[in-house]
Amino acid sequence: IPTVLKSFKVPQLALPLVRCFNSHDGHDGSFKFSDLNIQLTRHHRPKPDYGKLMFGKNFSDHMFEVQWSKENGWEEPRIAPLHNLSLHPAATSLQYAIELKRAPAVRSSPSGGHPLPPDWLDAPPLSYRSASRQNMKECPSIFRYANVELFATGRGPQNDKFVQASSVIQDETDETAGPSSSTSNTSMVESPVGIKKYTKQIYTKTGELIRNHPEA
């Protein structure tokens, strides 16, 4: 593991990173852990007060992204400084294309660990079923393990880490107006962090915890 990644405590399951083949269209492109390009920011933002975190307002200094296209398959994955997206004015995502987005919360345990949320145990951030239904390239399931370790940054028993995964179609032109198989999309993971204070817990009649109800 590169020295810069040792502090991230990447789980053994992610090493070596499974190759991710493009079974979606038969393309033989793939990527693996050794393909990862890491670009560290030169401008670290001040660390926020973990007791005053605001939901959707605090982000990590870095984000993960990987490009996929029908012509080239998976391209070089990279961890880069958090940045804005660059989209062509005619990008179909701004017109009629469908986008996928998930933002599960990773809870802090009393011991300081980051147990995986239940929905991440069943499917990756951009699951195979969700992507396939929309004719989009599915994200590798390995993301669900590696990204929690790489991007969960909150501290304290009441901090939730929201790992946000998105898939955006960037096709600039299309021969027909309407849904079709995507030819280009970007998958990225950011790490907004926030704190929620809960006033009560909601249970089923059998005593099973459904969810924590946030205060207004």
Kindly list the domain boundaries of the chain, sorted by start residue. 3-46+54-214
Segment 131-138 shows an average pLDDT of: 62
Look-up of token digits 């693996």: 32
Residue 188, pLDDT > 50, answer: yes
* CATH 3.30.465.10 for domain 3-46+54-214: no
Among candidates 124, 116, 202, which has minimal Cα distance to 161? 116
Residue 108 · residue 157 · CB < 8 Å = yes
Whole-number pLDDT of residue 150? 47
CB 64 within 8 A of CB 150: yes
* Listed ranges 69-78, 90-99, 197-206; the one with the highest mean pLDDT: 69-78
Lowest mean pLDDT among 51-65, 139-153, 155-169: 139-153
Confidence band of 89 (pLDDT split at 50, 70, 90): confident
* Omega of the bond leading into 16 within 30 degrees of 0 (cis): yes
pLDDT beyond 60 at 23 = no
Contacts of residue 144, defined as CB under 8 A and 6 or more positions apart, other chains included, come to: 116, 120, 123, 124, 125
Beta bridge partners of 62: 81
- pTM score > 0.85 for this model? no
Among the listed ranges 38-52, 61-75, 141-155, 173-187, which one has the minimum average pLDDT value?
141-155
pLDDT of residue 215: 43
- The most distant pair of C-alpha atoms in the chain lies apart, rounded to whole Å, by 55
More confident residue, 63 or 174: 63
Q: Which amino acid is at 161?
A: K
Residue for token digits 């989009």? 136
Q: How far is Cα 8 from Cα 13, in angstroms, rounded to an integer?
A: 14
pLDDT at residue 31 greater than cutoff 60: yes
* Mean pLDDT of all residues in 171-181: 49
Residue 115 confidence (pLDDT) above 80: no
Return the DSSP state at 147.
H
Residues 36-71 have pLDDT tens digits of 888 888 888 887 776 676 666 777 788 878 777 777
Find the DSSP H helices in the chain.
Answer: 3-6, 118-122, 128-133, 143-151
Residues 147/139, Cβ–Cβ less than 8 Å: no
